[in-house]
Amino acid sequence: MYLLGVAIVFLCIELYRRYFPVKGISCKTNVDEGKDTIVLDIRDYNDKGVSTKVAMQIPYAYLKRYSSEIPYKSLHVVAANRIELNLGLRFLLKKGYHVSSFEILNCPCIEKGGVVNGI
């Protein structure tokens, strides 16, 4: 019974990390790159359906290895889907980076004026 409880706790933590949105970061499609904002693309190398002005491209799978190459400036994160975005944002915030905004391909927040899931 104890092992079942521990397994459920770990499952809940992992589900929270993946699916619960990160609060306090807005969705923007147009970002001012001149204001010390770096565009960080965490999509896979082969997921380039929509071209964006990318200052840095580090896929989420390589983010842990190459996080030292990211300067400590304000970041605008571009992701392919919500899960990749949540994991990437949590990692970057844990490392001490300031993430000011994000962008998801085919994002529903464009119609809502930058608000996603009531955040």
Q: How far is C-alpha 69 from the geometric centre of its chain's CA atoms?
A: 17
Q: Which residue has the higher pLDDT, 117 or 53?
A: 53
d(CA 63, CA 42): 8
Question: In a 3-state reduction of DSSP, which class is residue 111?
Answer: coil
Q: Give pLDDT tens digits for 34-54.
A: 668 888 999 988 876 555 566
pTM score, whole prediction? 0.80
What is the Cβ-side half-sphere exposure of residue 70, based on CA atoms within 13 angstroms?
31
Spell 17-51 as b/e; 16+ CB within 10 A means b: eeeeebeebebbeebeeeeebbbbbbbeeeeeeee
Q: φ, ψ for residue 89 (rounded to 5)?
A: -65, -45
Residue 69 predicted with pLDDT over 60: yes
Q: Which CATH superfamily is domain 2-110 in?
A: Rhodanese-like domain (3.40.250.10)
Counting Cα atoms < 13 Å in the Cβ hemisphere of 93 gives 16
